[in-house]
């Protein structure tokens, strides 16, 4: 470690630098962080971000800071004091701190293209483009086992159209009819101007399917989580969420007035330790997990979370974005898969955009919860209702799945086939096995980018998952299966992966 010249360094200089690094790790502007702000409470810092700040600070000042001391610090000012100590510049007791200089005027930025945010984005974009940009690939057709990319029929392994309800003749016909009956928009907030019997029919169908008293549908899955998580709890409450939770859950926690804290992925023992220590400090404790995790493709141990919910008196919310239409004989999700009692989960969240083939989100639960959300959730009250076209298509899709279990069965046959083929090749499929998301581990981000681009040249679309969606150095190609994939298509995809890796000189990790 190269020592730095400490002459003239003041505690204010150190504080400014630490603030900048914390802001970078959190992804916000440094001016939003006060010196005494408790970083983890105010900005919902998770352990990875905390470690990132520590690594950056140690690197910047060429010092080593003991973890035990670092983790006792709550604020920029406390971390700065540790740095000063490590630099041998500790303020001696009684010595007055140098007078705080009048803040210098900041350079005005009046156009977005000159902002720090845009500069940081450009840097990242440049590095992606060097490798061939795999983002915003145009699919000018329906998207299921195949799609049309650049005028060419391509094998598609990147869609969440798990049971092919998007493009299904029944859902398309329902959409067509709804468009001619209602037009294409709700044309206002449902509360005030835009409700329809169709919406309540869809909500009743979802509630029945999910074994709850009622349900509410909102315009996007992401917004459903942000607004619901954001508004259900107050300053007397605690939110505990799995560290791998989707961005929409984390954003909801940021919005909420309550304290929130992540726990290690699926680690119900670590969660129980937190509960033993902290349950009684709060009124409500909202526990949020997902049914199936979209980066690793694993199913969460929901019965363990139900056990903790009952033991400690929690509200349990399960995001079923990737388990609805996937788990359970008719795609009913984790309740059916694990044989849960109807009220084991208090808040059953799902999206309409993945298995259900449309766009929107739902919360299914007690009639009190749903009624309260209908009058209070800002993302519902102050936003338009979903398009009647989508509501009708979604309703037709759920009815089809409940009547006919073949699409879910076909999906699971495909999962078993793909997994067997991947195992034969000793590829590392991370935690996958029973869900249509089957990641194949690659390693460095640039290798996943290069493989994805090469695969597309070979007629196979499979998107990469890279940092920060997955840990650094653990990038992967995420194969998403649907009920229409045929064995030869899955074989071809894996053959092309092997040949692309050979051509690029990439060694795929083998098990």
Ligand X SMILES: Cc1ncc(COP(=O)(O)O)c(C=O)c1O
Q: Which residues bind ligand X (CB under 6 A)?
A: 220-222, 225, 246, 248, 290, 294, 319, 321, 351, 353, 361
Packed helices 221-232 and 367-376: angle between N→C axes, nearest 10 degrees: 100
Q: Which is nearer to ligand X, 61 or 263 (CB)?
A: 263
Cβ closest to ligand X, residue 359 vs residue 497 = 359
Region of 206 (left: φ > 0; alpha: ψ -120 to 50; beta: rest) is alpha
Instruction: Considering the complex, state which of residue 39 and residue 300 has its C-beta at the smaller distance from ligand X.
Output: 300
CB of 359 to ligand X, least distance (A): 7
Q: Which is nearer to ligand X, 221 or 230 (CB)?
A: 221
Q: Could you tell me if residue 188 is left (phi over 0), alpha (psi between -120 and 50 degrees) or otherwise beta?
A: left
Q: Residue with CB nearest ligand X? A: 221
What the block records as the tokens of 377 is 């959730």
The four Cα atoms 381, 384, 387, 390 give a dihedral, to 10 degrees, of -40
By beta-carbon proximity to ligand X, the closer residue of 61 and 380 is 380
Q: Are strands 315-319 and 285-290 parallel, antiparallel or unpaired?
A: parallel
Residue number with CB closer to ligand X (392 or 394)? 394
Cis peptide upstream of residue 468 (ω within 30 degrees of 0): yes
Rounded to a whole number of angstroms, the minimum distance from the CB of residue 352 to ligand X is 7
Q: How far apart are CA 283 and CA 485, in angstroms?
A: 48
Q: Which residues contact 218 (CB under 8 A, 6 or more apart)?
A: 224, 227, 360, 361, 362, 363, 377, 379, 380, 383, 386
Cβ at position 225, least distance to ligand X in Å: 5
CB of 38 to ligand X, least distance (A): 28
- In the complex, least distance from residue 123 CB atom to ligand X, rounded to whole angstroms: 26
* DSSP-assigned beta bridge partners for residue 259: 238
In sequence order, which residues have a C-beta less than 8 Å from that of residue 72 and are 6 or more positions away? Answer: 78
- CA–CA dist 165, 330 (Å, integer): 13
- Residue 438 beta carbon to ligand X: minimum distance, rounded to whole angstroms: 16
3-state DSSP of 51-66: HHHHHHHHHHHCCCCC
In three-state secondary structure terms, 36 is coil
Residue 353 or 447 having the CB closest to ligand X: 353
What are the structure tokens assigned to 41, written together?
A: 């409470």
* Distance between CA atoms of residues 492 and 66, nearest Å: 51
CB of 338 to ligand X, least distance (A): 18
Rounded least distance, CB 221 to ligand X, Å: 2
d(CA 507, CA 218): 45
d(CA 455, CA 199): 42
> How many Å separate Cα 335 from the centre of its chain?
21
In the complex with ligand X, the residue whose CB is nearer, 61 or 157, is 157
Nearer to ligand X, 389 or 500 (CB): 389
Measuring CA to CA, which residue among 10, 374, 405 is closest to residue 218? 374
| For ligand X, the closer CB: 61 or 362 | 362
CB of residue 307 vs ligand X: minimum separation in angstroms? 22
In whole angstroms, the minimum distance from the beta carbon of 361 to ligand X comes to: 6
Q: How far is the CB of 177 from ligand X (least distance, A)?
A: 24
CA 55 to CA 51: how far, in whole Å? 6
Q: Looking at residue 301, what DSSP letter applies? A: -
C-alpha 209: how far from its chain's center?
A: 24
Q: Which is nearer to ligand X, 15 or 319 (CB)?
A: 319
Computed over its alpha carbons, how large is the radius of gyration of the chain? 25
In whole angstroms, the minimum distance from the beta carbon of 248 to ligand X comes to 5
DSSP calls for 454-496: HHHHTTEE--EE-TTTS-TT-EEEEEE--TT--HHHHHHHHHH
Q: Which is nearer to ligand X, 353 or 489 (CB)?
A: 353
Q: Which is nearer to ligand X, 361 or 407 (CB)?
A: 361
**Chain center to CA of 139:** 23
**How far is Cα 190 from Cα 257, in angstroms, rounded to an integer?**
26
> What is the nearest approach in angstroms of ligand X to the Cβ of residue 350?
8
């Amino acid at each position: 470690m190269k020592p730095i010249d400490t002459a003239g360094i003041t505690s204010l200089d150190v504080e400014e630098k630490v603030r900048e690094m914390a802001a970078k790790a959190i992804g916000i502007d440094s001016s939003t962080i006060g010196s005494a702000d408790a970083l983890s409470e105010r900005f919902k810092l998770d352990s990875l971000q905390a470690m990132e700040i520590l690594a950056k600070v140690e690197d910047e000042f060429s010092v080593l800071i003991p973890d035990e001391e670092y983790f006792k610090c709550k604020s920029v000012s406390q971390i700065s004091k540790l740095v000063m100590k490590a630099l041998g510049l500790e303020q001696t007791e009684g010595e007055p701190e140098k007078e705080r200089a009048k803040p210098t005027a900041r350079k005005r930025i009046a156009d977005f293209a000159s902002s720090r945010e845009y500069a940081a984005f450009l840097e990242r974009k440049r590095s992606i483009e060097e490798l061939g940009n795999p983002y915003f690939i145009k699919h000018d057709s329906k998207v299921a086992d195949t799609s049309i990319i650049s005028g060419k029929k391509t094998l598609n392994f990147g869609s969440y159209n798990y049971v092919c309800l998007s493009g299904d003749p029944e859902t398309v016909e329902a959409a067509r009819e709804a468009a001619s009956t209602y037009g294409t928009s709700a044309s206002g907030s449902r509360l005030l101007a835009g409700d329809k019997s169709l919406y309540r029919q869809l909500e009743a169908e979802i509630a029945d399917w999910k074994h709850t008293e009622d349900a509410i549908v909102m315009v996007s899955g992401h917004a459903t989580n942000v607004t619901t998580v954001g508004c259900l709890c107050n300053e007397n409450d605690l939110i505990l969420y799995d560290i791998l939770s989707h961005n929409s859950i984390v954003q909801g926690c940021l919005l909420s007035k309550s304290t929130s804290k992540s726990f290690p992925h699926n680690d119900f023992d670590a969660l129980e330790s937190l509960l033993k220590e902290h349950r009684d400090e709060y009124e409500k404790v909202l526990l949020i997990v997902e049914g199936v995790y979209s980066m690793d493709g694993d199913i969460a141990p929901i019965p363990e979370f139900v056990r903790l919910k009952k033991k400690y008196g929690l509200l349990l919310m399960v995001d079923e974005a990737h388990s609805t239409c996937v788990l359970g004989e008719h795609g009913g999700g984790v309740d059916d898969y694990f044989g849960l009692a109807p009220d084991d989960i208090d808040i059953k969240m799902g999206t309409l955009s993945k298995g259900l083939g449309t766009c929107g989100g739902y919360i299914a639960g007690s009639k009190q919860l749903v009624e309260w959300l209908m009058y209070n959730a800002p993302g519902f009250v102050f936003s338009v209702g979903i398009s009647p076209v989508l509501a009708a298509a979604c309703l037709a899709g759920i009815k089809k799945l409940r009547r006919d279990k073949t699409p879910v069965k076909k999906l699971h046959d495909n999962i078993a086939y793909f997994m067997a083929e991947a195992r034969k090749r000793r590829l590392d499929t991370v935690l996958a096995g029973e869900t249509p998301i089957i990641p194949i581990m690659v390693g460095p981000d640039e290798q996943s980018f290069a493989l994805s681009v090469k695969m597309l040249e070979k007629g196979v679309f499979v998107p990469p998952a890279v940092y920060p969606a997955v840990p650094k150095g653990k990038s992967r190609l995420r194969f998403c299966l649907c009920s229409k994939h045929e064995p030869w298509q899955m074989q071809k995809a894996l053959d092309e992966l092997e040949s692309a890796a050979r051509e690029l000189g990439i060694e795929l990790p083998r098990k």
